[in-house]
């Protein structure tokens, strides 16, 4: 059913392109992790909530320059938005895909590069911090949705590689709350490791952030608007 829906969408897009019409722009949610009291990872004065907001704003700016996608930022300032609200607000905004931006601070994995997650059980992953009463527990997404999330993750991974940005060779699984939409393919992009000094310096540099933003925008366009992307290339 999902595959048929996708095919119909693709055919409609191709038909519109053949008629020379521009398809209506599609909304994509860009989620800057953490915010407010939740700082995320902090290493040597570099603060995750700030780095990921800078990157998310650049992705949004990049998307706004294209004609096919419209960004929806789950937060625009240094505030904490409950995780379930990030998903539900993005769904209410008509989001067609959800990309959550994070950085991590793991030991012993230097030079690893960016890693992409889709929803799934992962015993290696510790439980997250306790959640406030405002959090709603969303059901796990259906398998068909997780499969689409994997396609999105691979599209982003290919686009990052094409920009010369190092990525882990596989898409990982995690039981993260922001990956639980049942209607939007959803991924987390962990840009790099704050404990790796080289990656930490790199992820804070505006030129790198621009390159990353260009890759994410391209990966999203290829996934959601392949006909329009091909017409431009
Ligand atoms: Zn994080």
Q: How far is the CA of 93 from the centre of ligand 1 (A)?
A: 23
Q: Which residue has the tokens 């260009």?
A: 214
The total number of residues written for the chain in this structure: 233
Q: Which residue has the tokens 């048929």?
A: 4
pLDDT at 203: 97
Q: Report which listed range, 9-13, 18-22, 119-123, is most confident.
A: 119-123
pLDDT digits (tens, 9 = 90+) for 40-73: 999 999 999 999 999 999 999 999 999 899 999 9
CATH architecture of 24-127+136-227: 3-Layer(aba) Sandwich (3.40)
Q: How far is the CA of 48 from the centre of ligand 1 (A)?
A: 7
Q: How far is the CA of 83 from the centre of ligand 1 (A)?
A: 12
pLDDT digits (tens, 9 = 90+) for 82-128: 999 999 999 999 999 999 999 999 987 778 999 999 999 877 776 66
The token pair that represents 135 in the structure block: 């959090």
- The H or E element spanning position 144 is helix 143-162
Contact 110, 200 (CB under 8 A): no
Can you tell me the distance from the alpha carbon of 78 to that of 205, in angstroms, rounded to the nearest whole number?
20
Q: pLDDT: is 22 or 137 the higher one?
A: 137
Instruction: For ligand 1, an ion, list residues with CB under 5 A.
Output: 33, 40, 102
């Amino acid at each position: 059913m999902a595959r048929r829906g996708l095919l119909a969408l693709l055919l409609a897009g191709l038909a519109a392109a053949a008629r020379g019409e521009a398809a209506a722009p599609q909304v994509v949610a860009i989620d800057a992790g953490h915010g407010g009291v939740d700082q995320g990872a902090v290493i040597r004065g570099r603060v995750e909530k700030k780095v990921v907001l800078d990157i998310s704003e650049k992705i949004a700016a990049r998307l706004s320059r294209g004609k096919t996608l419209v960004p929806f930022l789950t937060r625009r300032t240094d505030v904490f938005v409950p995780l379930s609200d990030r998903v539900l607000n993005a769904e209410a905004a008509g989001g067609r895909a959800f990309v959550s931006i994070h950085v991590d601070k793991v030991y012993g994995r230097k030079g690893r590069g960016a890693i992409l997650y889709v929803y799934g059980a992962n015993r290696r992953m510790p439980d997250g911090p306790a959640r406030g009463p405002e959090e709603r527990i969303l059901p796990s997404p259906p398998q068909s949705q997780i499969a689409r999330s994997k396609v999105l993750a691979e599209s982003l991974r290919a686009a990052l590689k094409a920009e010369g940005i190092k990525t882990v060779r596989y898409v990982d699984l995690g039981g993260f709350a922001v990956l639980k939409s049942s209607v939007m393919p959803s991924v987390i992009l962990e840009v790099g490791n704050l404990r790796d000094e080289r990656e930490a310096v790199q992820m804070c540099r505006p030129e790198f952030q621009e390159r990353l933003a260009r890759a994410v925008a391209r990966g999203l366009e290829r996934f959601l608007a392949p006909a329009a992307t091909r017409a431009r290339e």
